[in-house]
Structure 1
C-alpha cells in the first residue's frame, strides 16, 4: 500500500507539472508517416510502397539519370517513392561514397578501382548517364551528402557493397545527422547460423537502425523459416526473391515465398512482403521476380501481369527501376493512399 500511495502521489505531481506547460506538438515529417506505414503492415496493406532501385535511374526501360546520384534521389522524392536504394563503398582514404561497381569506368568519367581512389579525385569524376554516355555536372556523392538530401523526406535502403563491418560506421553517420530511423540495412539469411550472425551484427550496429532480411527461394524452401528470420529483429519487412532461370516460363504461383502460407505468416507477424522487379544487368528480365519484372510491365505494357501479379500474392513493397511508371499505375489502380503533407 505504501508503494502504491507513493506511486499515486508521484503521478499526481507529474500531472500537475505537465499542466503548467503547454502541450508540445510532435513534429510530423514525411518520413515519420512512411515509417508508420512500414512498421504497421497490417494497417496499411491497402497501400503499396515503392522503393527506387539505385536511387531511381530509369524511365520506360531507358537510363535517363545517373545511378546513385543526388539528381535521381531528388526525382524519387518528387515522384512520391517511400524509399531509395543506394550502393555504398569507400574511397581509398576511408570516406563512405555512393558507387555500385568495383571500378569507376561504367558510371563516371574516371577510370580505375573505386577503393583505390581518394575522395579528392572522386570529386573530379563526373557521373555518367549510361543510356547515351553523356557526363552530368554531378560528381561522385558521399553517403553524407545523400543522407542530408533525404532527411525528413524519404527512407534509405543501404546496399552495402563491402563487408558487413562497415555498417556500424554507416549507422554512426546516420546518428550524427539525427536520422538513424530513416536507415535500413539488410543481409541474406538462409539458415540458423546466418540469423545468429545477423543478430550479432545488429547488436554492434544498435537498436535504432532497422534491419531487413533478404530471403531467396534457392535456399529458403519453407515458409516457417520466414518467422525465424524476421521475429528476432522485429523486422517490418522481408525482401523476397523468386529466382527465375534463363528461358524458363514465367511463374504462375509466385513460389514458396509468395505462397498462401507465406502470406499468412506475414499477416501473423505484421510485416511486409517485399518483391524486387528491377533488372539484374546482363541477365534475363524478371530474374528476381519469376520472370514478372519491370520489362513486362513497362516495355510489354502489361503492368497487371507483373506488378499486379505480386500484389495479388501479398506484396506490399515493390523495389523497381521504374518508380515513375509504377507509382502512376498504382495510383490509377487504387493501390496508393495519399500522405498528409500539410504539417
Structure 2
C-alpha cells in the first residue's frame, strides 16, 4: 500500500513539474496546434494601444499581464539598419518627431517620445524588434503585420533571441512571390498568408498555398459574409489550416466586428459568429472583453 502511495506521489510530482516546466509561450504554442473547438487564441492589435502607446513595450507588457496569447506589431528599418516597431510610413502620428523612420539613426529616434492614443507625449521610447522579442520570450506569441519587407532580417533577430517559434510572419502575396523572395527562411518559421476572400482570384491564391506549402494558418479578410465568402472559409478550414480573423472593424470580418460585440452588446453576432466559422485566432481591439467572453464559453483558460 505504501509503495503504491509512493508511486502515485512520484507520478503527481512528475506531472506537476512537467506542467510548471512549460512557460506561457510554450502553452500558447501548444494551444495554437489544438482544434479551434477546444480553445480560441486572442490576438491584440498593436498590443494594448488603448492603455499605452501602440507598438510600445508597455503596451506589450500589458497584454502579457492580461493573459493575451499574441500581440500584433509592425516593423520599419532605421537609417543605420535597426528594425524598430512603427506602423506608419512616418513617425509623425505616434511620436514627437517628424519624418520617415529610415531618415533617422536609432540613436536619433531615441530623442523622441511616443504619443498615446490621444496624441499626448509619454515617457516611452520607440522599441527595437530585438527588445520586443526579448520581452516576449517565453511569455507570448508575436504576429508581425507590416514587416514582410524585412523577413530575412527579422529571422536573424528571432534566431539570436531564441524566439523563432513564437513569431508569425505574414503577407498578402501569392505563394510563388513569397517563395522567390524569401524561400531560404520561409520553411524555418511560421508564415501566414493573408487572403482577401471578397477579391477576384482569392481562391487561386489559397490553392497555390495549399498545393505547395500547406500553411499552419491563413488570415482571412472579407467585407461581406455571403455564400461565396463562407464557402472559401470552409475550404480553408477543411484543409486543416488554422483560421485567423480580424474583428477590428466591419470591412475585415463581414460586419461581425468588435463594436457590434461591445457597443451594440451583441457578442454572439460578432465574436460568436467568427467562432462559428471555425476561427482559431481572433484579432481584436478589445482584448480584455474578448478574453472574458471566451472564458465564459470555456474556450480560454
- Give the TM-score normalised by structure 2: 0.86
Please, which of 284, 290, 298 is the counterpart of residue 320 of structure 1?
284
Does residue 270 of the first structure (1) align with residue 240 of the second (2)? yes
Report how far residue 274 of structure 1 moved. Answer: 1.3
1:124 and 2:111 aligned: yes
Secondary structure at 1:184 match in 2: strand
Deviation at 1:139?
Answer: 0.6
Counterpart position of 2:45: 53
**Structure 2: runs of 5+ lacking an equivalent:** 1-16
Q: Distance in 2 between matches of 1:226 and 1:86?
A: 24
Residues 276 and 318 of structure 1 are in contact (CA less than 8 Å); yes or no, is this contact kept in structure 2? yes
Q: Helix, strand or coil: the match of 2:288?
A: helix
Tell me the C-alpha RMSD between the 2 structures. 2.3
Structure number with higher helix proportion: 2
Question: Quick one: higher RCO (CA 8 Å, sep 6+), 1 or 2?
Answer: 1
Aligned to 1:179: 163
Paired residues of 2:247 and 2:253 also in contact (CA < 8 A):
yes
Within 5 A, what are the aligned runs for 1:52-71? Answer: 52-58=44-50, 64-71=51-58
Q: CA deviation at 1:218?
A: 3.1
After TM superposition, which residue ranges in structure 1, 4 or more long, deviate above 6 angstroms?
none
Match of 2:259 among 295, 304, 319: 295
Alignment of 1:12-161 (within 5 A): 28-40=22-34, 42=35, 44-58=36-50, 64-131=51-118, 133-161=119-147
Return the alpha-carbon distance in structure 2 between the equivalents of residues 320 and 107 of structure 1.
20
- Please tell me whether Structure 1 or Structure 2 has the larger radius of gyration of its CA atoms: 1
SS of the aligned residue for 2:218 comes to strand
Q: Which has the higher strand share?
A: 1
Q: CA–CA distance in 1 between the matches of 2:33 and 2:126?
A: 32
* Distance in structure 2 (CA, Å) of the matches to 1:184 and 1:121: 29
Aligned residues: 284
Q: Give a deviation string over 1:185-239, Cα, whole Å, max 9, x none.
A: 11114xxxx2111223342225221110111123356657534324533321110
In structure 1, the gaps of 5 or more residues are 1-23, 59-63, 244-250, 280-285, 339-343
